Amino acid sequence: MPHIVVISTGGTIASRWQGAGYAAEAAGLEVLAAGAIPEGVDVRVVDLFTVNSSRLTTAHQLELLRTVHEVLADPAVDGVVVTHGTDTLEESAFLLDLHHADRRPVVLTGAQKPLDAADGDAAGNLYDALLTASTGRDIGAVIAFGGLVHAARGTVKKHTVDVQAFADPTGLPLGRVQFGRVTWGRHRPRPEALPLPAAGVRPPRVDIVMHHCDADPVLFDAALAAGAEGIVLVGTGAGNATPDFAAAVGRAVAAGVVVAVSTRVAAGAVAPIYTGGGAVDLVEAGAVLAGTLRAGQARIAVLSALLSTPDRADRPAALRRIVDSTSELYLVDGVGK
């Protein structure tokens, strides 16, 4: 009998009406009781915290990372399910995946409708996550949502309220859950896992700054002044900004700050195509292009590079190794978006 541990962290899947809106409230056993457990699966619940995921901090995420590793230290555990709010689920999933070296899966899920909604999606998503955790192997950290299983890397929340909330805009899902079984597509190779951050480590500050018409580096420089050790610059197009931003990036890199460049465009990779403040100049100034990672996951990539690399001089190379593993796209046979 597969033994699955469910780690409860709150989110809409644990939310109830509070008089003016919904907020996370229910414990893990209450969430579990709202739906059916796949036949032959044994489940244990760990209540880690109960918060709306928009309120999660890096400290919360590192606590979740350590808890997953502690749970998997028990050889009797066959897999882990994390119930999580959808707002920042893609960030937590990617962090877990970057530091996951176990054959056993970690499956994140949540809901777009609150726990007590008559037409809610919590029960179905949790059932699918338990099924995925009990049958999957060598898949890393994944997201089970809306009948699909997505790799953590590259998957983002694509709709604010629709029950089909997640997708990889540049790739395809890993599998589909139908009729009580998971149908897997092509295996997606995974990079070597990063080491687990030391307990009690102070999370470094990593900020996100977006470029737009009339933008200048004022907010970029403010992040530096606030003590940021890493910054994600969200450019336009294939990762473009202005000469002023390129100069600001150069100053930051010279000061030992890691800078990644993502894009506000929904799909596709950033690429060094344009000068005049474009990605060509940003790379020349020392920035690392974030491949297909969007802002939230690019920030996690920077965070993990900082946490796993004590020597500041080695951090840009560490970030490139994380990002390079996103450069090849793996299409999934027989599984449509």
Q: List average pLDDT for each run of 10 residues in the chain, which is 337 residues long.
A: 97 96 96 93 97 97 98 98 98 98 97 94 97 95 97 96 94 92 86 92 96 98 98 98 98 98 97 98 98 97 97 96 65 35
What are the structural domain ranges in the chain?
3-184, 206-324
Q: Which helix (H) or strand (E) holds 51?
A: strand 42-51
**What's the pLDDT at 330?**
35
Place of tokens 């999660």: 56
How do residues 275-318 score in pLDDT, each as one tens digit? 999 999 999 999 999 999 999 999 999 999 999 999 999 999 99
Rounded distance, CA 128 to CA 134, Å? 10
Catalytic residue among 86, 132, 170, 326: 86
Asked if residues 142 and 132 have their Cβ atoms less than 8 Å apart, the reply is: yes
**What's the pLDDT at 325?**
60
**What's the pLDDT at 312?**
94
Catalytic residue among 12, 67, 170, 242: 12
Instruction: Provide the pairing of β-strand 22-24 with 15-17.
Output: antiparallel
**What's the pLDDT at 188?**
80
Question: What SS3 class is residue 97?
Answer: helix
Domain made up of 206-324: CATH architecture:
3-Layer(aba) Sandwich (3.40)
Q: Is CATH 3.40.50.1170 what the domain over 3-184 is classified as, yes or no?
A: yes
**What's the pLDDT at 337?**
30
Whether residue 12 lies in the annotated active site: yes
The answer to pTM > 0.85 is yes
* DSSP conformational letter for 311: S
Phi, psi torsion values for 125, nearest 5 degrees: -65, -40
